[in-house]
Structure 1
Amino acid sequence: MYKKFAIVTIVAVYFLILVGGIVRATGSGMGCPDWPKCFGTWIPPTSVEQLPENYQEIFGQKLKGEVEFSAVKTWTEYVNRLVGVLIGVFIFITLLLAFKEYRGLKTGIVKYSLIAFILVGVQGFLGSIVVSTELHPGLVTVHMLLAIVIVLCLIYALFLAYKYQGNGLETENRSLRFMTLILLILSVGQLVLGTQIREMVDHLSFGSLPRSEWVDSLLGGKFYIHIVLAVILLAVHWVLFRDGKKVLKEGSLKILTLLFVAVIVEFIIGGVLGVFDIPAFSQPIHLTLATIIIGLQYALFLIFGKSKRSLS
């Protein structure tokens, strides 16, 4: 039961990352100018008539800026918060199942499930700080990276559960493990670099420059590095796929194949962003795929590790 629900929880966290990407792509981050309530209520308004006449002054003073109500942006951000609460419930249930099935066993499953649950609380607190600082770019990036850490904790706990059961997912291979580690480090760097470019895009979206000229404005050091890294990552992932499929078992091979497909799709979407003037719909998909790739790389890093260690 634990393993099945842990997989559901991991997928749910990735869905939350997708929703967060949609919030950012639509500029809905300040759709709710306060936290945890939204415009002072637990259920946000659907029209400006439901707000006091001086709502801009009330919430503008709190945020030290102008507030303009938009039902679409408000509810987009509110749904993001609701999904976040639901994820917290999912991770709590995962923790309870881990305790029920693995308590008293030296597996680490309960410990890492607990760490994931604690980090969800930290993530919620950090979310309130992000709102109070009016979406400070650095905090937004930390908020996203913490979500990835939560996913990695859940993946590690799930891996330990499979290892304890003795499903034989592991295939010890030091060279492929090292290659996967390098890919993991590069992908995290690529993700952080991508968020910096995204901040530049956000800045352009508030200016008068037409969308058709955004890509030309982004041309420079970070943009070129991002492109070069994308090509390198695609090439190295091909080598990993070529060599890994020769040694991995059936279950682990599915993870490797999924990773390679995700990298190819991510590369294509990156091209779409550059060729078609950064369409908003592709931005959250690009971000979510990047985080999925990191999770799959981490899973393979664990799989290529030592297989003789006992968890009993």
Structure 2
Amino acid sequence: MQKNFRKVAKVALVLVYLVIIAGAVVRGTGSGMGCPDWPKCFGHYIPPTEISELQWKPDTDFKKGQIIIVDETLQVATETFKTSSAFNKNKWETYTKHDYAQFNPAHTWIEYINRLFGALAGLATLVLAVMSIRLFKTNKKITILSWLVVFGMGFQAWLGATVVYSLLEPVKITVHMVMALVIVAFLLYIIHITKATTKKVKTYKDIVPLLSFVLFMTLIQVILGTQVRQFIDERMDILGEAAKNQWLVNADWQFYLHRSFSIIIVLLNIFLAQRIYKNKLNFPKINWVLIFLFIEAMSGVAMYYFHFPFASQPIHLVLASLLFGVQFYLLLEAISAKRSYKSL
């Protein structure tokens, strides 16, 4: 039972990371408002592909809640009806959660796919939580954590809705990203504590405080990065895709703090790796930390010096979340190794 449970937890983790990847693509392509409403998309479960589907037409059936664009406003059908030869305002009400009324089919489907991944991840975590009930008598912690993940996914879905309704407000985007990392951490912890018992560590040097500090600094860097990303989004809206070389001209202090902070992150992780290698600690995941860190740094350099090459922004965000995940699991392994060492 526990072995199958762990497999489901891994599937849930992969799906959560797919949501993060899809979210990164959404931000990288500026598709955050591709679906102006939530949880549907223009009032549809399957979003439109052409602007004609969002235009009023005579002798056409419309369902209650369906959205069309009229005079640069979103209009919501108040009931299910068939249109006559003239537009009847009494059958529609103006969407009031925001005033964004644009349609881009590519953006709409990118955002829609992001939501589909979110639904799949939510379903996987619900299955995990239901399975955890059978483990309650033997390990209450697993059951509690599993249901906390479900509640976390629900809260994350609500945050996604508030991000849309706020027209991508920076603070809410940041909270949305941090919450995703919290869910990742919970799932990694579940995977770790359901791991089969392995041989005890014979030697151990106390690096848990250092690992904790490095993980905390990474989280700070991720938060700074989301703020920088908002600045870039604003510059992109003003200057357009054709002026990528101008996006970071006269950048604010947050960009320079984020860039300088990255040097500290690199040095801290190199020092951490040196401690692990020097003391011959059995933590091979430090190699993955260094690999992700190197590619992350290179993607940042590429964005700055080569003016945001294709896919560099989503790659940068996804690598940051992967780096956090590996560092967190490494910390869990270090804590377990410390306990094993003390029990020798």
**TM-score when scaled to structure 2?**
0.82
Indicate whether 1:301 and 2:331 are aligned. yes
Cross-structure match for 2:38:
35
- 187-196 vs 129-138, greater mean Cα deviation: 129-138
Contact 1:215 1:278 in 2 (8 A): no
**Correspondence 1:182-221 to 2 at 5 A:** 182-208=213-239, 210-218=243-251, 220-221=252-253
Amino acid of the structure 2 residue aligned with 1:195: T
1:239 is matched by which residue type in structure 2?
F
Instruction: Choose from 57, 73, 79 the match for 1:57.
Output: 73
Aligned: 1:238 with 2:270? yes
Q: What letter matches 1:222 in structure 2?
A: Q
- What is the CA distance between 1:171 and its match in structure 2? 8.0
For residue 46 of structure 1, what is the aligned residue in structure 2?
49
Distance 1:3 1:248 in 2: 26
Residues 204-224 of structure 1 deviation map (CA, whole Å, 9 limit, x = unaligned):
011137211222232x53222
1:291 correspondence with 2:321:
yes
Q: Contact 2:174 / 2:226 at 8 angstroms: preserved in 1?
A: yes
**Distance in 2 separating the partners of 1:52 and 1:31:** 17
Aligned positions, number: 303
Q: Distance in 1 between matches of 2:230 and 2:197?
A: 45
**Structure with the higher fraction of residues in helix conformation:** 1
Q: Using structure 1 for the length normalisation, give the TM-score.
A: 0.90
Structure 2 stretches lacking a partner, 5+ long? 57-67, 76-93
Q: Which amino acid aligns with 1:193?
A: L
Work out which of the residue numbers 266, 270, 273 in structure 1 matches 2:303: 273
Change (3 A) 1:168 1:32: farther
Structure 1 residues 171 and 47: alpha-carbon distance in aligned structure 2, compared to 1, 3 A threshold: farther
Q: Which residue of structure 2 aligns with residue 128 of structure 1?
A: 161
Structure 2 CA distance for aligned equivalents of residues 46 and 224 of structure 1:
41
User: Alpha-carbon deviations, 1:267-298, whole Å to 9, x = none?
Assistant: 11111111111235111111111111111111
Cα distance in structure 2, aligned partners of 1:161 and 1:140: 32
Map 1:113-152 → 2, pairs under 5 A: 113-152=146-185
Aligned-pair CA distance for 1:309: 10
Quote the Cα distance in structure 2 between the aligned partners of 1:13 and 1:238: 28
Q: 2:124 aligns with which of 84, 90, 101?
A: 90
User: Higher mean Cα deviation, 172-181 or 228-237?
Assistant: 172-181
Matched AA of 1:58: L
Distance 1:141 1:4 in 2: 30
Per-residue CA distance 1:62-112 (angstroms, 9 max, x = gap): 344241111101111111111100000111122233333x32123612211
- Contact between 1:171 and 1:304, CA under 8 Å: does it hold in 2? no
Cα pair 2:16 2:184 within 8 Å, conserved = yes
C-alpha distance in structure 2 between counterparts of 1:107 and 1:261, whole Å:
36
Q: Answer 1 or 2: higher relative contact order, Cα 8 Å, separation at least 6.
A: 1
Matched, 1:260 2:297: no
The answer to whether the 8 A contact 1:212-1:277 is kept is yes
The answer (yes or no) to whether the contact 1:33–1:63 under 8 Å persists in 2 is no
Larger Rg: 2
State the Cα distance separating 1:258 from its structure 2 match. 1.1
Residue 62 of structure 2 is matched in structure 1 by none
Give yes or no for contact 2:36–2:100 (8 Å, CA) kept in 1. no
Name the SS of the counterpart of 2:44 in structure 1: coil
Q: Helix, strand or coil: the match of 1:116?
A: helix
